[in-house]
Amino acid sequence: MSLKEQILKIAKQAKQSSNKLALLSRETKDGVLKDMASNLEENKEAIIQANQKDLRLAKLKKYSQAIIDRLTLNDKRISQMADSLREVANLANPVGEVMRSWTMPNGLLIKKVRVPIGTVGIIYESRPDVTADCIGLCLKSGNSVILKGGSEALNSNLAIFKCLRDALIKHKIPEAAINLISTTDRKALDFLLRMDSFVDLIIPRGGEGLIRKVVKKSRIPVVKHYKGICHVYVDSDADLNMAENICLNAKVQRPGVCNAMESMLVHRDIAIRFLPGMIKKLQESSVEIRGCPVTRKIVKAKIKLATVKDYATEYLDLILSVKVVESLDAAIEHVNKYGTHHSDSIVTDDETSANEFLKRVDSACVYVNASTRFTDGNQFGMGAEIGISTDKIHARGPMALEELCSYKYQIYGSGQIRQ
Amino acid sequence: MSLKEQILKIAKQAKQSSNKLALLSRETKDGVLKDMASNLEENKEAIIQANQKDLRLAKLKKYSQAIIDRLTLNDKRISQMADSLREVANLANPVGEVMRSWTMPNGLLIKKVRVPIGTVGIIYESRPDVTADCIGLCLKSGNSVILKGGSEALNSNLAIFKCLRDALIKHKIPEAAINLISTTDRKALDFLLRMDSFVDLIIPRGGEGLIRKVVKKSRIPVVKHYKGICHVYVDSDADLNMAENICLNAKVQRPGVCNAMESMLVHRDIAIRFLPGMIKKLQESSVEIRGCPVTRKIVKAKIKLATVKDYATEYLDLILSVKVVESLDAAIEHVNKYGTHHSDSIVTDDETSANEFLKRVDSACVYVNASTRFTDGNQFGMGAEIGISTDKIHARGPMALEELCSYKYQIYGSGQIRQ
């Protein structure tokens, strides 16, 4: 069988089994999820051994420390994967929920009912825990899933996948409900992205290069989970103490994630009062500051000059660009120009300014007086998330079980015909 | 300026003006829509003259009568276009609606708010009235729009477009909010479909060839408005009188549209009682029947044999394929195999069968005891529609103002930081 035929077979079988998955009861799905969790814990040793293989290869290939960190599994990480599956089991079943219903004057009762999408393809890179997370969320939302992970994590992914598949088999659910493409041939992805008759949605999770490639090649709808160049704007009417806490949190609490602040904007009227103390605190937390000329003038300490490139960079690190702006308008313009429509916050006590910012900043999540770090399925009360969409089509912001669903209209008549 | 630069300029300006459109009040938008309607009526003569030019060329090029029908504008059709715009003005403003709001235990108030998508590209064929419909719906939903119509309708489209643009100018709304690509160079579409930095959604409306081409080439999310191979299944427990009315309506009331029945499935237990009378009535309405072997046996009149190709054909004409099925399961399987996930109906008095059909038929609209012809934005109470999505991503079924929107999360804090 050629590679293309192999991928076609996987896609076809996944689609077929999605019809059965869509009809599973909550009890069945939750039973499988709990068994998946137990299987992971019972097979920790095998998973860690497989992971060691990947790590040895990664070190041979001289991958960066960041990649090796993301790749590494240990006892604790495997327990976390299992716990995540159990949490998904505890979430409400999104499938079958009547989202809205109404009756037309002719007596037709129309129900808008949540249903699974069908088959979801997930393309990701080094993190093997994504394997369990995505399978859990897709199963609970009644979708079959095709995973294509990075080759650097293949052994780990296969070991995890085996544990999860065994739970499916135990519950007599079609094996083809979950699929892991195990070839390292790069063409496999190209073939998958053309299977629009069998795969309904592609979610790429990873770096900019991966996402661009997927968008370019895919005939299947893609919901992008892009980078986050997030801003906090400290307005002239800000409570400066609150602003300091929020900015510090947004930058340093976990700098390597997409909802961390990468750029701080400060209104010129409070810049002299705010910036010296703020920058000192950030520097005490090892943050490298790159400032606009006004910032550099105000802050006596020696800091680098921020370039246009800085404003357009997602550092994912303890680096921050700082810019003093003329006005609220200038702040909004800067955010819409350099941001990535992810998460942006204004700190202000002025309601009018807050509302302007909320309305005009074109981002998935816009905050008043809170840290951008809250953009997260759990923090929004959705339970686990499959990612954070920076797209405007289908789903925007944290994407969880409901966002892994579509809907259908069920219409109840008593013989109505169209006039 | 090269063609690519021209398209880029249009896309960029459309995106820029979308920020302003998103903030327009309902009053402003409705005022523009009403002036657009008046402009169309006041310029009927010029529009009809332009249309005559297109019709002369179409006849020279020997286009089919169906295309010429769709292309033809007259006094009445122009009035209908104007009335549609006034109806859109009467619809509620979808922008800014709080879809849901909730407070997290840490005090964060999260509002999910409906916002425009941004810039919508619409690719369509011969019908020039689509030009006004789409501009009206996009304006009301706060989106800028780029239209690429068929070259056969270019003069008509330009005449309509001028009337609509004049209303924009009168209200001092950026002209770039509405755009009509007026070149007939086919490469223009290819360039447009690559402008994913500026165009947020593509809606193709037209034949299968057009849609496949758009899906293949687009880097922008596409919501497909595909063909409708719609079924009515007459169950063993059907009220046969009701079934006759529904099938007749679904087939003959307007055979040329996507929600008309193309295939009738009949349970074997009632086939002998139901089919002879039903088929007679259909034939009296000039419907050509193509039947399965069992159907041909039951019906004494001479009818053609239905092939597999028939079951997979959208006739859009007074032709119907008929199949006798063994069971409800066989009917559901047939619909899911040969249908296009558009609209399908079961006629039955048995609640269990009805629920099975509703749950297991994987279509945008599934009916019990009603004609498939109701799949329509107006008939669903949504007001005007931009089309009927056969996709599962973003929007499914009739797509109107709400479906032309995305959402954002507005989060109100009082200094919350992430622990």
Q: What is the pLDDT of residues B86-142, one digit of tens each?
A: 999 999 999 999 999 999 999 999 999 999 999 999 999 878 999 999 999 999 999
* B370 and B289, same domain (yes or no): yes
- Non-local CB neighbours of B297 within 8 Å, separated by 6+ positions: none
Query: Does residue A384 fall inside a structural domain?
Result: no
Instruction: State the burial class of residue B158 (Cβ atoms within 10 Å of its Cβ: 0-12, 13-18, 19+).
Output: middle
Distances (CA, A) of B61 to B56, B74, B149, B152, B207: 9, 21, 18, 10, 19
Residue A130: give the domain boundaries: 3-226+394-412
* A13 and A140, same domain (yes or no): yes
| A416: nearest CB among B117, B371, B416 | B371
* A243 and A217, same domain (yes or no): no
Residues of A in contact with B336 (CB under 8 A): 19
pLDDT attached to residue B293? 97
Angle at B297 between CA B295 and CA B299, to 5 degrees: 65
* B239 and B180, same domain (yes or no): no
Give B81's strand partners. none
| Confidence (pTM) | 0.94
Span of A120-124, A299-303, B94-98, B230-234 with lowest mean pLDDT: A299-303
- Domain count across chain B: 2
Instruction: State the burial class of residue A415 (Cβ atoms within 10 Å of its Cβ: 0-12, 13-18, 19+).
Output: middle
**3-state class of A235 per DSSP?**
coil
pLDDT attached to residue A53? 97
* A24 and A118, same domain (yes or no): yes
Q: Which helix (H) or strand (E) holds A319?
A: strand A319-325
Pick the more confident residue, A225 or B132: B132
How does strand B230-234 pair with strand B343-347? Answer: parallel
Q: Is A301's pLDDT higher than 80?
A: no
pLDDT attached to residue A170? 97
* A210 and A314, same domain (yes or no): no
Calculate mean pLDDT across residues A72-79: 95
Chain-chain contact of B221 with A245 (C-beta, under 8 angstroms) = no
Residues of A in contact with B362 (CB under 8 A): 19, 22, 118, 408
To the nearest whole Å, the CA of A56 is away from the closest chain B CA by 35
Average pLDDT, chain A: 95
Chain-chain contact of B380 with A222 (C-beta, under 8 angstroms) = no
To the nearest whole Å, the CA of A50 is away from the closest chain B CA by 34
pLDDT attached to residue A195? 96
Chain-chain contact of B407 with A396 (C-beta, under 8 angstroms) = yes
Query: Does residue B389 fall inside a structural domain?
Result: no
Q: What is the ipTM of this complex?
A: 0.94
* A151 and A241, same domain (yes or no): no
pLDDT in tens, A14-56: 999 999 999 999 999 999 999 999 999 999 999 999 999 999 9
* A186 and A263, same domain (yes or no): no
pLDDT per position in chain B (419 positions), as tens?
999 999 999 999 999 999 999 999 999 999 999 999 999 999 999 999 999 999 999 999 999 888 898 899 999 999 999 999 999 999 999 999 999 999 999 999 999 999 999 999 999 987 899 999 999 999 999 999 999 999 999 999 999 999 999 999 999 999 999 999 999 898 999 999 999 999 999 999 888 889 999 999 999 999 988 889 999 999 999 999 999 999 999 999 999 889 999 999 999 999 999 999 999 999 999 999 999 999 999 998 789 999 999 999 999 999 999 999 999 999 999 999 999 999 999 999 999 999 999 999 999 999 999 999 999 998 999 888 898 999 999 999 999 999 999 999 999 999 999 99
At B250, which CATH number? 3.40.309.10
**Residue A302 and residue A289: Cα distance in Å, rounded?**
9
* B166 and B19, same domain (yes or no): yes
Q: What is the interface size between A and B, counted as CB pairs within 8 Å?
A: 195
Residues of A in contact with B418 (CB under 8 A): 249, 253-254, 371, 373-374, 379
* A188 and A253, same domain (yes or no): no
At A98, which CATH number? 3.40.605.10
Query: Does residue A140 fall inside a structural domain?
Result: yes
* A347 and A398, same domain (yes or no): no
Show the DSSP H helices in A109-207 as ranges. Answer: 129-140, 154-170, 187-192
Query: Does residue B386 fall inside a structural domain?
Result: no
| A110: nearest CB among B380, B396, B410 | B380
pLDDT attached to residue B249? 98
Residue of A nearest to B254 (CA): A418
Chain-chain contact of A19 with B366 (C-beta, under 8 angstroms) = no
* A205 and A310, same domain (yes or no): no
pLDDT attached to residue B226? 83
Interface test with A, best of B335, B393, B405 (most A CBs within 10 A): B393
Residues of B in contact with A362 (CB under 8 A): 19, 22, 118, 408
Instruction: State the burial class of residue A56 (Cβ atoms within 10 Å of its Cβ: 0-12, 13-18, 19+).
Output: exposed
Residue of B nearest to A216 (CA): B219
pLDDT attached to residue A300? 82
Query: Does residue A418 fall inside a structural domain?
Result: no
Single-letter code of the amino acid located at B350: D
Residue of A nearest to B246 (CA): A417
Query: Does residue A312 fall inside a structural domain?
Result: yes
Query: Does residue B417 fall inside a structural domain?
Result: no
What are φ and ψ of residue A300, in 5° steps?
-70, -35
Query: Does residue B32 fall inside a structural domain?
Result: yes
pLDDT attached to residue B384? 80
pLDDT in tens, B26-64: 999 999 999 999 999 999 999 999 999 999 999 999 998
Residue of A nearest to B217 (CA): A219
Place of tokens 């606009």: A292
| B411: nearest CB among A104, A223, A374 | A374
